[in-house]
Amino acid sequence: MSEAKTKPTQVSVEQYIAAIVDSERRAEVESLLKLMCQATNQAPVMWGPSIVGFGKYSYSNASGRTGESCAAGFAARKGDISIYLVAEGPSQQVLLSRLGKHKMGKACLSIRRLAEVDLKVLEQLVSESYAEVLRRHPCSDA
């Protein structure tokens, strides 16, 4: 069975953010970092070269594959910011309807600019998703 490619690294979150060339995107990522630290009550850790993760949990899927992942996280992409909401919280659909301009995949919320979303709603989305990960995986290190 193959090993997961995305793992915690020793890379500095500050260096990752400082390397973002677009000053507006860098400022948004700094704001998002503060929001996610507050929502999860966790210190950020780089997962692979581009994901800032908060907490971690162990998983196993139907095929028997096991691994670890961050319980919440984000990545600054060129066109948008990807926010990883691993577990659907109890009021996720209602919160998404109030969030503002976004796209939601299975576990990835994409936004172009933080100014286009309600930050209080975003913080609640992250907080509820994080709490749901802890509920589903009580032995996690989140």
Residue 53 lies in a domain: yes
Residues 42-56 have a mean pLDDT of 96
Position 39 in a domain: yes
Residue-wise pLDDT tens digits, 56-102: 998 887 888 888 899 999 999 888 999 999 878 789 999 999 999 99
pLDDT of residue 128: 95
Q: Domain of 73?
A: 13-136
Q: Is residue 68 part of a domain?
A: yes
Q: Classify residue 4: in a domain, yes or no.
A: no
Digit-coded pLDDT (tens) for 24-45? 999 999 999 999 999 999 999 9
Domain-embedded: residue 141: no
* 8 falls within a domain: no
Note whether residue 132 is domain-resident.
yes
Q: What is the domain count for the chain? A: 1
CATH number, domain at 132?
3.90.1150.200
Domain membership of residue 25 (yes or no) is yes
Q: DSSP states of the chain as a string?
A: -PPPS--B-S--HHHHHHT---HHHHHHHHHHHHHHHHHHT--EEEETTTEEEEEEEEEE-TTS-EEEEEEEEEEE-SS-EEEEE-S--TTHHHHHHHHBS-EE-SSEEEES-GGGB-HHHHHHHHHHHHHHHHHH-TT---
